[in-house]
Amino acid sequence: MIRDDCDYATHMDYVHFNPVKHGLVDSPADWPFSSFHRCISDGIYPVGWAGGVEVPEAGERP
C-alpha cells in the first residue's frame, strides 16, 4: 500500500530503475515498455535521470 507522495516516488523510482539493475538496459529510458517515457513527457523525471553511471537513491530526484 502506498502511504504518501514520498512512498509513491520511491516505488516509481524502483520500478523505473529495475531493468537497469538487472542488466537489461543501460538507462531507464532504454527500456521501451516502461511508463518512464510518459513520466519524462509529463515533467516528473528529467531526461537524464539515472542515465549515467551513478545509481540514484530510491525517491531521489533533482
Instruction: Compute CA distances 27 → 6, 13, 31, 46, whole Å.
Output: 23, 12, 7, 13
56: confidence class by pLDDT, cuts 50, 70, 90: low
Where are the chain's structural domains? 1-62
Q: What's the pLDDT tens digit per position in 14-29?
A: 999 999 999 999 989 8
**Assigned C-alpha cell, 24:** 537489461
Tell me the pTM.
Answer: 0.73
CATH superfamily of the domain spanning 1-62: Transposase IS200-like (3.30.70.1290)
Amino acid sitting at position 2: I
**H runs (alpha helix) in the chain:** 5-21, 36-41
